[in-house]
A = this chain, B = another copy of it.
């Protein structure tokens, strides 16, 4: 029996899963909720852009969840022995960089900085660097357009250099105390493999390529001259960033004795190069050419691969096109929506219509599911956290339109779900407009698995069948796939995926009558999308409310 460990560091918790490499069976799993902040996130009530995490939570979570998963695996499978584990794979959120000192220690774990949010990990959804993102975009547009071509034409406030540059401006003491900045996805394997010298740390292609404008075409990360024009100190930081980056079929290193002892595993087993959760989630969902994998969580990632020997046009507004970022030998294309589950959570947790019980996800979903497409007369934009794809603009906000004096909470809830579906369709359309054909959609993540109404709406809005990944924890499973390949259980990713990944029997097929209504609504959504999202775009909005009322009346007739 050969087993693999997948460690999945999410937005609110870390999960460990132990997988049988022969068939993908999940022998044991354990989740640890980050204790710091609000659901694991440090917030600032005065600045909704700020979102940080405590790296100590990552380490403690590793110990707790590996032990828990081993105990669970023993329970489920008496024959299981931790020595069966052939490798560890790691995925994290991103871009979630953290400042580290000369020894690779996170500044947040030093007494001097432990209470300073700027010294913590800057979580993917931190948007404090929006001004710096605009500055980087402007400079790159003028001087290094090639940098932007691979990341959708706009550098995001969610990404590596926006965050670091903002720290440099907002809190120079933290910036100056840092030797370098490391992605969570690189820091964790470095810790487990004892890579305490940041100069020797291997940085993953996934993070570097998608979020930090790194490419082999220009020798890795952006050049020091370019970064130096943003700030000389940022130029100097370039020296601490490697020219080479690594893909998940390579190892970050081998598990150290101390960590092996701490985790109850064999020392020396390989720890695979880390990657972002969505990228390994795509692997765990069986991604291959023509398959769009949608990881639907607080936000959404939409992942596609294309053979890296094919000519591929740059796709405007797509977060990134990076060779090897998802599967070795393929271009990884990443798109996404800045908030999906987070929008529903906002409605449920902040507005809580009718109180805790009446305003729960379950209660609202049950009522919303009974509504017909168009029946509410509502239309929303899914921009409460900005728009990642295709507008690449965090300085956008939510919009709800069509309210009457009788609009009910479940109607708004459904309109928010529909808005995210329209956003999803906009991404699919953009891929296909630029020649990336999508002939299958596989969804994963808790929402995809649990919310049949949402999946049916996605099918009805897009006019495509929605499939669901078999595993409930595809990101962790993808990490385990990388661990299995690294540990020699399978010769390559295609064979590992065939053995370990799969699709659920139940799928969601579009209902023609619903799709027809949603096609009308999508036209109106697209008008709002372009009108509010594209600078200088001038559109007539005067008919939107009337068209919505006409659709509503038809649906009610």
**Chain A residues in contact with chain B, CB under 8 A?**
46-48, 339, 342-343, 345-346, 350-356, 358-359, 377, 383-385, 395-409, 412, 531-546, 548-549, 556
Contacts and interface: CB of A to CB of B under 8 A. Distances in A.
Contacts of A339: 405
Contacts of A408: 350
Given A355-B359, A396-B546, 8 more contacts: A342-B405, A377-B397, A399-B399, A399-B402, A532-B544, A534-B542, A535-B542, A541-B541
**Chain copies in the assembled complex:** 2
A329 to B, nearest CB: 38
A9 to B, nearest CB: 21
B549 A542 contact: no
Nearest to A395: B546
A135 to B, nearest CB: 16
A350 B406 contact: yes
Contacts of A358: 352, 355
A556 B46 contact: yes
A295 to B, nearest CB: 19
Contact of A540 (B384, B404, B407, B537): B537
A395 B544 CA distance: 10
B397 A402 contact: yes
A384 B377 CA distance: 12
Contacts of A545: 383, 395-397, 532
Interface centre among A351, A533, A540, A543 (most CB of B within 10 A): A351
A532 B532 CA distance: 12
A524 to B, nearest CB: 12
Contacts of A538: 538-540
A83 B355 CA distance: 53
Given A46-B556, A47-B556, A401 B398 contact: yes
Contact of A541 (B353, B354, B539): B539
Q: List the 5 shortest-distance A-B pairs measured between CB atoms, nearest first.
A: A355-B355, A398-B403, A535-B542, A48-B406, A531-B541
B397 A548 contact: yes
Contacts of A404: 48, 346, 384-385, 397-398
23 contacts: A46-B556, A346-B405, A346-B406, A350-B405, A350-B406, A350-B407, A351-B409, A353-B353, A383-B545, A384-B404, A384-B407, A385-B405, A395-B546, A397-B402, A398-B402, A399-B400, A399-B403, A400-B400, A531-B541, A532-B545, A534-B542, A538-B540, A541-B541
A128 to B, nearest CB: 11
Contacts of A342: 405
B355 A356 contact: yes
B403 A401 contact: no
A117 B339 CA distance: 45
Nearest to A538: B540
Contacts of A536: 540, 542
Contacts of A548: 397
B549 A395 contact: yes
Given A354-B352, A397-B377, A542 B546 contact: no
